[in-house]
Amino acid sequence: MISPFSITREITPTLNTVLIPRVAALKIKSDLVKYLKDSFLITSLAVLFVIGLIIFSKYIIVILYGEDYLSSVAILRVFLIAYAMNILVWPFLLLIHSFDRPDIQTKVNVLQIPIQVIGTFILIPTLGAIAPALMFLIITVIGIVITSIWISIELYRRREIDEMERLLV
């Protein structure tokens, strides 16, 4: 059964399909800024959809699965918060492709996997079923922070290169 919740998992891969070829071709600062502004509109709409799911998740769970599954609402909301954060910043995180460095995302993912697994095993005895969702939220934040720091450093470095080129000309 396709639910509104499974649709949220597909938003980021869909954004990848649409945006990666576009962002990989961006090299000029003004093009990067325009890309970010245009993408923010699209991702904001997707995040509004996810916020709606968070707000109405209790009712949707009851309608789709029945009252026996109400205990899953908190878990679902944590996952949806992580998805919303990821969707909102995804266009910015894709800038690694304009720098021809998709390996950065792979390295971040390699770091996230053991954190997710180890953290989940540590937290399950005390937090129960919500532990994997909380760890997913934590690794999402970690991934966003690490990738954002790398992109910010790269943007700053490129700005310095642009300034040096202007001085030489």
Q: What is the number of helices (H) and of strands (E) in the chain?
A: 6, 0
Indicate if the pLDDT at residue 100 is higher than 90. no
Q: How confident is the model at residue 167 (pLDDT cuts 50, 70, 90)?
A: low
Give the model confidence (pLDDT) of 36-54 as tens digits: 888 888 888 889 999 999 9
Give the model confidence (pLDDT) of 112-162 as tens digits: 999 999 999 999 999 999 999 999 999 999 999 999 899 888 888 877 666
Q: What is the pTM of this model?
A: 0.79
Give the model confidence (pLDDT) of 9-29 as tens digits: 666 666 666 666 777 776 777
Average pLDDT value over all residues in the chain: 84
Report whether 19 contacts 91 (CB < 8 A): yes
What is d(CA 22, CA 42) in angstroms, rounded to the nearest whole number? 14
Give the model confidence (pLDDT) of 79-96 as tens digits: 999 999 988 888 888 888
